[in-house]
Homo-oligomer: A and B are copies of this chain.
Amino acid sequence: MSTPRRITLKDLARELGVSTATVSNAFNRPDQLSPALRERILGEARRLGYRGPDAMARSLRTGRSRIIAVILAESLTYSLNDAVASEFLSGVAEVLDTQGHTLLLLSSRQTQAQFPGSASMADGFIVYGLMPSPSLLESLPSQAALVAVDFDIEGRPAIHVDNEVACQAIARHALRMPPRRPAIVNLRLTAEPCNGPITASHRLLGAEQTITRSRLTGFYRALAERGIDPAGVPMWNIEENTFEVCAPVLEPILDLPGDERPDLLLCMSDRIALTALTLAEQRGLRVPEDLRITGFDGIAEGQYRAPRLTTVRQDSTEKGRMAARMILGLTPPASSLLATELMVGDSCP
């Protein structure tokens, strides 16, 4: 018995009595050979069960894999369950699909110190949400295309949302009705991990490290405009944008006696705001009468419920599309800023 080896382009060429170059052309450049010969080659290929040029060999030869990698800041488990990250990926996938490219998912939070070797096959990298550790970044092919999203990498194009303007706008809206006790719930803002109140002893991350710092600046501007001293507004911090992590931070706030409890919660994400909403409902607090709540993101879950969430919508899908177009060279690699949209719902009319 001969070994049932997989059939290759070379086998096919030998079988047909033509050169490998011609077979290759039959698959890749139809204009380079006569239609008749091409037909004969394709027919024989089908007959012999040859599926076309091997992807790995082609990649080695051409130096391109037609794979684009997205490097997510959080674990895949978190990112895949997060509406904002998921929408972003949708946008990326949409463009890649139409361009015959394929999507590889990577995470900065992984068990290994380096990316798996297979990661470096990608033709380009979209880095989402957070600067990976320098060593991770080093392990990427140095000349690969790279686009940063929601943060900056020196010398690379970045895609941002105008966080500061957006937060100033939503805070302005909320402050049109003066709150007695406004409060801010931040997301990953402290230098050291912290789930709870932010005190004077906490150092905050800089604007180049986290988008939420820009959001806070927006809130502060609006507060100052209304003559409210931002320093007097109590703040809390949350490390992970999930119900499980948000709830224990928010519960004590809502359980404060009525004359200490905030009557306006400016939240840095819809997940935080929705968690607050759920917990408020469980406690019989009326929204917006007893408590007004604003979010950030504009995720579906906040809009398909009653009361609808007042929030700022960022078009994560479009952000993904932009990143993908840029990484594929469909768009010149230049940093850009996406606009946001204030969405007035029922949680803060």
Distance in angstroms from A53 CB to nearest chain B CB is 7
Measured between beta carbons, the chain B residues less than 8 angstroms from A93 are: 76-77, 80, 105, 107
State in angstroms the CA–CA spacing of A59 and B119 once bound together. 12
A32 within 8 A of B: no
Closest 6 CB pairs of A and B: A76-B93, A77-B90, A80-B86, A66-B118, A102-B118, A55-B121
- Counting contact residues on chain A (CB < 8 A from B), the size range is 35 or more
State in angstroms the CA–CA spacing of A58 and B101 once bound together. 21
Residues of chain A in range 49-91 having any CB-CB distance to chain B below 8 Å: 49, 51-60, 63, 65-67, 76-77, 80-81, 83, 86-87, 89-90
Measured between beta carbons, the chain B residues less than 8 angstroms from A87 are: 80-81
A281 within 8 A of B: yes
Chain A contact residues, CB within 8 Å of chain B: 6, 49, 51-60, 63, 65-67, 76-77, 80-81, 83, 86-87, 89-90, 93-94, 97-98, 100-107, 110-112, 115-121, 139, 141-143, 243, 275, 278, 281-282, 300-301, 304-306, 317
Which residue from chain B places its CB closest to the CB of A68 in the assembled complex? B118
Measured between beta carbons, the chain B residues less than 8 angstroms from A90 are: 76-77, 80-81
Measured between beta carbons, the chain B residues less than 8 angstroms from A83 are: 81
